[in-house]
Amino acid sequence: AQSVTQLGSHVSVSEGALVLLRCNYSSSVPPYLFWYVQYPNQGLQLLLKYTSAATLVKGINGFEAEFKKSETSFHLTKPSAHMSDAAEYFCAVSESGANSKLTFGKGITLSVRP
Amino acid sequence: KAGVTQTPRYLIKTRGQQVTLSCSPISGHRSVSWYQQTPGQGLQFLFEYFSETQRNKGNFPGRFSGRQFSNSRSEMNVSTLELGDSALYLCASSPDRATGANVLTFGAGSRLTVL
């Protein structure tokens, strides 16, 4: 069975500071990994995905994530936080690219201080 | 290109009633999946439909059901509503590619409140 662990429920950073949101996964097969962002009263928007190509994945809005198999991690980073990055972030895993069953982490709320 | 459209956006029901939620996928997307989002349980997979057939199912009771029409539009139904069914129900569609990851595009959700 697959699972995702996102440590901590809330991260607060200053504007311009590094953003680091952690994600660890468990999967019995090589996984597909995703980061989604959710703004208030909206659905989920894909930030980036890992599909066994490059281990460093670049996404939208300046975010990137690195797949580390040895650490079973897929942490999300952004060099410089912007106020508009304040949202909830979800890491998700799928054991098959062929279906739409994603297992999500509990999510992390990112706050950005002026 | 229009996104995933869910209706209604908000609704209030009472315990014991039933509810039907609708989802129109992105044009050309043949797979539609449904997720329940609650503060306590987070995002949980309900089911996935492809070509009018349920292809995958999560761990929810039989009160939760769905269907997909020939135009790929999907509906989900919850019967005999319970207070715990209060949630944001998210629909997602994907192109169902033969290779690579199927990227889900989510709708804005239908927020159900059960009183």
Q: Which of residues 47-106 of B touch A (CB under 8 A)?
A: 48, 55-56, 58, 90, 92, 94, 96-106
Stretch 19-78 of chain A: residues touching chain B, C-beta under 8 Å: 32, 34, 36, 41-46, 49, 51
> Residue A101 and residue B58: Cβ atoms within 8 Å?
yes
The pairing of strands A10-14 and A108-113 is parallel
Structure token pair of residue B51? 């070509």
- pLDDT reported for residue B100: 57
B108–A41 C-beta distance less than 8 A: yes
Tokens 């950005």 locate to A112
* Residue-wise DSSP of A23-92: -EEE-SSPPEEEEEEE-TTS-EEEEEEE-SS-SEEE-GGG-EEEEETTTTEEEEEESS--GGG-EEEEEE
User: Would an 8 Å CB–CB cutoff place A109 in contact with chain B?
Assistant: no
In which band, very low, low, confident or very high, does the pLDDT at A19 lie, cut at 50, 70 and 90? Answer: very high
* Interface contact flag, A32 B101, Cβ < 8 Å: yes
pLDDT in tens, A80-114: 999 999 999 999 998 776 667 899 999 999 999 99
Report the pLDDT averaged over residues B34-56: 93
Residues in chain B: 115
Q: Are A4 and A25 in contact (CB under 8 A)?
A: yes
**pLDDT for residue B101 is more than 70:** no
Render pLDDT for A32-54 as a digit per residue (tens, 0 to 9): 899 999 998 889 999 999 887 78
Contact between residue B88 and residue B109 where contact means Cβ atoms under 8 Å apart: yes
Burial degree of A113 (CB within 10 A; 0-12, 13-18, 19+): exposed
